[in-house]
Chains A and B, each alone.
Chain A
C-alpha cells in the first residue's frame, strides 16, 4: 500500500488512467501520483509481462505510458496537469520474439 509520509495538501487535479478518474495534487510527479492511487501496473512488455515503475529516475524506461495521445512517455519524468489523460501502454501486436 503506497502511503504519503507528509500531510497531503495542495490543489487537487483530476486525471484519467485507462478511463478511470483519479485525483492528484498539482505539481505531483506522474508516476508517484499513479502509485499513490494504487496503480502499480503501467504497461505490458509482452502478453503476460506486466511492468511498472522501477528506478524513478528515467534510466530504466519501465514506466512508459501514453499521455494525452502521445505514447512512450516516462511517467517518472512527468508532472501532472489538470485533465491529463493517461493510458496504459501495451506491447504492440507485432511484437514477436524469434527463438533459437
Chain B
C-alpha cells in the first residue's frame, strides 16, 4: 500500500481513468510531481468499459476542432506507445493499419459516405477514406455475410488494448515518481494563497495544478473550482467472446479482435441514467448484428459482457476548461479516452503545465453551450 509521506505536489489529478492517467503521465514526464487520486475499485469507471478503438473516421465531421485534435492524437499515438513500452510497460497491442465501418444497407453506406465526405472537406486533404463495395470488402474480410453491403475504410484508424494502456500509463507515472492513492475521492478544493488545497478521505494535499478528470463525477467537482461541466451518462453494452484464431485483420467500429484473440462486439447508445445493467435484448441485438457481419461466428462463446457509461457532453465533444476563479484548476472530460490519450499525454499535459489551455482548445470550453 502506498504510504504517503508528503502532502505537497506540483499537480493533483482527480480521477484514475484514461484521462487522469494520460494527463498525470504527461505531467510527470515533464518533471512535475504528481498525485493521482482515485475512487473505489467498483466506482463507475468508464475507462474499464472501453472498446479500445483509436478511431479517426467520422470524428468531428461537424466540428472541425475535434477532427483536428483527433487526427493529431492519432499521429502522436506511436510515440506514446513506444515511450510507455520503453518505460517497462506491457505491450499495448497498438495497430494503426486502418479501420472499417461496416454497413448492412445502402442507406447506411450513404449516411457514412455523407459524413466522411463532409469531414474530408474541412480537413484540407489530411483525412483520407475509401468506400469499399462488397467485392472490395471481401478481400479484406473474406468471411462477411450476405447482408453486408460494404464498408467505409479509413487508413488512419486503429485499435489498442485499453486495459493494458491503463496499466502502462500507471507504470509510466510510477516510474516518474508519481503517487497514486486509491479510495481517495475528492471532497473539497480551496484556494490557499498561491496554492490549491484538495481535501480527501485520506487527508489534505496542496498543489499548483488540479486537474479534474473524474468522468461523470466531474459534474459535481467542477463547481468546486468555479467551473461547470454538463455531462450525462450514455450507456453502451459490449460482449466479449472466447479467444479465436485470427478472424479479422482490421478493427471495425462494432467488432474488433484483441491481440489475445477474443472478439469485442458492441454496442449500444442508451439513455437510461446511471444504471449499468446488461439487458438481454440489447446484447441479443449486438450478437445478431455480429452474425450478420461474420456468420461463421455462430458457435463462438460469449464469455463476458458489460455495460459502461460514456461521459457525454451535450454535443458529444470533449469539454476542456480552465478556471478563472482558481488559476491552475482544470476540468477535462471526453468519451474518447483511448483515441485522445496521446494528445492528452503530450499536448494537453503541456498546456496544463503552462497553466494555459491556449487557443487550439478554445472551442472545447463549456462556454460553447452558453450561446
* Bound-state Cα–Cα, A30 to B362, Å: 66
Nearest Cβ on chain B to A95's Cβ, whole angstroms:
5
Q: In the complex the two chains form, is A95's CB within 8 Å of B243's CB?
A: yes
Q: In the complex the two chains form, is A100's CB within 8 Å of B245's CB?
A: no
Q: In the complex the two chains form, is A95's CB within 8 Å of B260's CB?
A: yes
Q: In the complex the two chains form, is A94's CB within 8 Å of B243's CB?
A: yes
Q: In the complex the two chains form, is A100's CB within 8 Å of B90's CB?
A: yes
Q: In the complex the two chains form, is A98's CB within 8 Å of B164's CB?
A: yes
Q: In the complex the two chains form, is A71's CB within 8 Å of B167's CB?
A: no
Q: In the complex the two chains form, is B261's CB within 8 Å of A71's CB?
A: no
Within 8 A of B (CB), among A40-87: 70-72
Within 8 A of A (CB), among B282-336: 299, 301
Nearest Cβ on chain B to A88's Cβ, whole angstroms:
15
A interface with B by C-beta (< 8 Å)? 70-72, 91-100
Nearest Cβ on chain B to A2's Cβ, whole angstroms:
28
* Bound-state Cα–Cα, A32 to B301, Å: 24
CB contact under 8 A between A71 and B260, given known A92-B244, A94-B243, A98-B91: no
Residue of B nearest to A93 (CB): B245
B15 within 8 A of A: no
CB contact under 8 A between A71 and B299, given known A92-B261, A95-B261, A98-B90: yes
B16 within 8 A of A: no
Q: In the complex the two chains form, is B261's CB within 8 Å of A98's CB?
A: no
Residue of B nearest to A70 (CB): B299
B interface with A by C-beta (< 8 Å)? 88-93, 161, 164, 167, 171, 242-246, 257, 259-261, 299, 301
- A contact residues around B301 at 8 Å (CB): 72
Q: In the complex the two chains form, is B161's CB within 8 Å of A98's CB?
A: yes
Chain B at the A interface: SS class? loop
Q: In the complex the two chains form, is B299's CB within 8 Å of A98's CB?
A: no
Q: In the complex the two chains form, is A94's CB within 8 Å of B91's CB?
A: no
Residue of B nearest to A64 (CB): B242
* Bound-state Cα–Cα, A97 to B91, Å: 9
- A contact residues around B299 at 8 Å (CB): 70-72
* Bound-state Cα–Cα, A91 to B245, Å: 9
- A contact residues around B90 at 8 Å (CB): 98-100
* Bound-state Cα–Cα, A96 to B245, Å: 11
Nearest Cβ on chain B to A56's Cβ, whole angstroms:
20
Nearest Cβ on chain A to B87's Cβ, whole angstroms:
11
CB contact under 8 A between A92 and B164, given known A71-B299, A99-B90, A100-B89: no
- B contact residues around A100 at 8 Å (CB): 88-90, 164, 167, 171
A sample of 15 inter-chain contacts (CB < 8 A) reads A71-B299, A95-B243, A95-B260, A95-B261, A96-B259, A96-B260, A97-B260, A98-B93, A98-B161, A98-B164, A98-B259, A99-B90, A99-B91, A100-B89, A100-B167
* Bound-state Cα–Cα, A70 to B92, Å: 32
* Bound-state Cα–Cα, A42 to B260, Å: 21
Nearest Cβ on chain A to B249's Cβ, whole angstroms:
11
A92: which of B89, B92, B161, B245 is its contact (CB, 8 Å)?
B245
Q: In the complex the two chains form, is A94's CB within 8 Å of B261's CB?
A: yes
* Bound-state Cα–Cα, A94 to B91, Å: 15
CB contact under 8 A between A94 and B89, given known A71-B299, A72-B242, A100-B171: no
Residue of A nearest to B244 (CB): A92
* Bound-state Cα–Cα, A94 to B257, Å: 10
Residue of A91, A95, A98 with most partner-chain B CB within 10 A: A98
* Bound-state Cα–Cα, A98 to B261, Å: 13
Q: Other CB < 8 Å A-B pairs besides A92-B261, A98-B161, 18 of them?
A: A71-B299, A72-B301, A91-B243, A92-B245, A94-B243, A94-B244, A94-B245, A94-B257, A95-B243, A95-B260, A95-B261, A96-B260, A98-B91, A99-B91, A100-B88, A100-B90, A100-B164, A100-B167
